[in-house]
């Protein structure tokens, strides 16, 4: 099975797609065809430990990688997670919460970003790439730290993370600017996430920048959720969760579960879509947005219109107006020509419109909804009051949307609610939602949250408090290339920890 660019006839192997990150024409690599699992094959996953489940799913999606090799990588990647399973299920009535935040950065990005460096190294070897791989990535908050953690001191790689200055939580920022590793770089951009992401995309197709990097023996790649090496490990946890629900009888043979996903860049829910297409018993996919509800409107009307105010919310990792991974879905339903036209229109006019037939195809599979900050905070309070379950704001957006859809009778299957962050990662807002008085300091907020709920503070949060700042660079949105080159030039000076 090969992967094809969503914007040209460029076709590559899975290993090449991972090394490149994004296609040279600016497109994303999408599978030409998807493998398929039978009910019994999925059910058998329930008897395996998580790394083995993941390896089995990944081997089908990444044919260049033998299953045994993937299993060894997955064992290393998921060893850094707390608890018995990296992706445990919590039962709350007829909802199962899939907790994906037990990794080193307390957000679901770890599920893929602990795995990606292994895939990247193996893929580089398979494609004969001998240059160092320079990872460039934009983050709305959580990707950044997860990439920095995953790649820190991985031989033959470096990682540069751009984040919107003032556009991430205090804890997210602290996590990033304290990152260790000789090969890690963190740069704040004066702009919002879309500026940072567009800037990174431009660098990937900027011949002068590519040339300058090549001159120092580096080839660019991406750890953003557009990288196939991010997407594939995410499909695995949907199979894992489905297998467990099938084994427990929560999903009977021939029946389905619906998934509800707090969505930003559309990577997580796209992985659920691939899992569905690969035979996982998934009915509806519920795309939940915060006040930046461009996707909700898109699924309801078939019109994607980014010409709107960018809103900062208490679920910052979903504050996105251009959901990059949607392009893979658009390519699948519309094909190359239509997708290219839609993407051109989005770039030129900020808007595109699906034809009726494509819109109907989407409506058959996707439900959607949005929750603003007030509804999100109410949902956090309500889940604690009624279920004694503490949710982070991203998860609460999805939970609030699910509640509305259930009231409207739109989802009747058992639901897998995807929980993407630990409440401790957003402790001040969670405390406020719960009516707990909090000082401004996020660490004091963690202690207050722990005192009020009894939920233990995760180790990475405890360690963060004392960690020294190591990264201080800030740049304008048109200076990102120069900033990277300046960082690379200085790389030898890192590690003194005297970051003023």
Binding residues vs ligand PLP (CB under 6 A): 107-109, 142, 225, 262-268, 317-318, 394, 420-421
| CB of 136 or CB of 483, closer to ligand PLP | 136
**Rounded distance between C-alpha atoms, residue 337 and residue 331, angstroms:** 9
Name the active-site residue from 9, 90, 91, 109: 109
Question: 231 with 31: CB under 8 angstroms?
Answer: no
Q: Shortest Cβ distance from residue 399 to ligand PLP (Å)?
A: 12
| Strand 29-31 with 89-92, pairing | unpaired
Q: Shortest Cβ distance from residue 320 to ligand PLP (Å)?
A: 7
The residue count of the chain comes to: 500
**Rounded distance between C-alpha atoms, residue 386 and residue 450, angstroms:** 18
CA separation, residue 166 to residues 105, 188, 464 (Å): 20, 9, 19
| Strand 132-138 with 95-99, pairing | unpaired
**Rounded distance between C-alpha atoms, residue 259 and residue 238, angstroms:** 9
**Rounded distance between C-alpha atoms, residue 47 and residue 387, angstroms:** 29
Question: 267 with 281: CB under 8 angstroms?
Answer: no
Q: Shortest Cβ distance from residue 424 to ligand PLP (Å)?
A: 12
| CB of 140 or CB of 240, closer to ligand PLP | 140
Question: 89 with 96: CB under 8 angstroms?
Answer: yes
**Rounded distance between C-alpha atoms, residue 415 and residue 97, angstroms:** 8
Q: Shortest Cβ distance from residue 105 to ligand PLP (Å)?
A: 9
| CB of 209 or CB of 273, closer to ligand PLP | 273
Whether 109 is catalytic is yes
**Rounded distance between C-alpha atoms, residue 155 and residue 133, angstroms:** 9
| CB of 268 or CB of 340, closer to ligand PLP | 268
| CB of 262 or CB of 281, closer to ligand PLP | 262
Q: Shortest Cβ distance from residue 395 to ligand PLP (Å)?
A: 8
**Rounded distance between C-alpha atoms, residue 150 and residue 104, angstroms:** 9
Active site residues: 109
């Amino acid at each position: 099975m090969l992967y094809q660019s969503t914007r040209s006839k460029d076709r590559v192997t899975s290993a090449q797609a991972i090394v490149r990150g994004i296609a040279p024409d600016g497109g994303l690599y999408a599978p030409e065809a998807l493998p398929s699992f039978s009910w019994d094959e999925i059910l058998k996953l329930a008897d395996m430990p998580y790394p083995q489940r993941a390896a089995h799913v990944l081997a089908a999606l990444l044919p260049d990688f033998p299953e045994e090799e993937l299993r060894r990588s997955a064992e290393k990647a998921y060893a850094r997670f707390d608890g018995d399973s990296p992706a445990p299920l919590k039962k709350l009535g007829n909802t199962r919460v899939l907790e994906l935040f037990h990794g080193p950065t307390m957000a679901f990005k770890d599920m893929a970003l602990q795995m990606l460096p292994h895939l990247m190294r193996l893929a580089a070897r398979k494609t004969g790439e001998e240059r160092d791989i320079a990872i460039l990535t934009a983050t709305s908050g959580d990707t950044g730290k997860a990439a920095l953690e995953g790649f820190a001191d991985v031989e033959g790689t470096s990682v540069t993370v751009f984040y919107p200055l003032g556009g991430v939580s205090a804890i997210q920022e602290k996590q990033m600017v304290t990152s260790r590793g000789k090969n890690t770089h963190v740069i704040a951009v004066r702009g919002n996430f879309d500026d940072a992401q567009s800037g990174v995309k431009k660098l990937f197709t900027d011949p002068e920048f590519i040339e300058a990097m090549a001159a120092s023996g580096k080839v660019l790649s991406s750890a953003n959720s557009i990288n196939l090496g991010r997407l594939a490990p995410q499909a695995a946890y949907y199979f894992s969760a489905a297998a467990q629900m099938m084994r427990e009888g929560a999903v009977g043979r021939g029946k389905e579960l619906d998934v509800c996903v707090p969505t930003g860049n559309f990577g997580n829910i796209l992985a659920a879509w691939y899992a569905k297409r690969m035979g996982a018993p998934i009915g509806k996919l519920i795309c939940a947005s915060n006040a930046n509800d461009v996707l909700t409107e898109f699924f309801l009307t078939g019109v994607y219109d980014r010409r709107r105010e960018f809103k900062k919310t208490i679920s910052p990792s979903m504050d996105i107006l251009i959901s990059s991974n949607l392009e893979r879905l658009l390519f699948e339903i519309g094909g190359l020509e239509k997708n290219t036209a839609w993407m051109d229109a989005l770039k030129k006019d900020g808007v595109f419109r699906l034809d009726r037939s494509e819109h109907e195809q989407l409506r058959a599979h996707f439900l959607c909804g949005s929750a603003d900050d007030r509804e999100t905070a109410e949902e956090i309070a309500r889940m604690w009051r009624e279920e004694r379950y503490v949710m982070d704001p991203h998860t609460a957006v999805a939970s609030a949307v699910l509640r509305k859809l259930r009231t409207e009778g739109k989802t009747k299957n058992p639901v897998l609610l995807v929980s993407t962050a630990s409440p401790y990662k957003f402790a001040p807002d969670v405390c406020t939602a719960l009516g707990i008085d909090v000082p401004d300091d996020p660490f004091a907020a963690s202690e207050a949250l722990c005192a009020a709920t009894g939920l233990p503070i995760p180790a990475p949060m405890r360690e963060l408090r004392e960690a020294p700042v190591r990264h201080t660079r800030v740049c304008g949105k048109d200076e990102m290339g120069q900033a990277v080159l300046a960082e690379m030039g200085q790389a030898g000076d890192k590690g003194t920890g005297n970051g003023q």
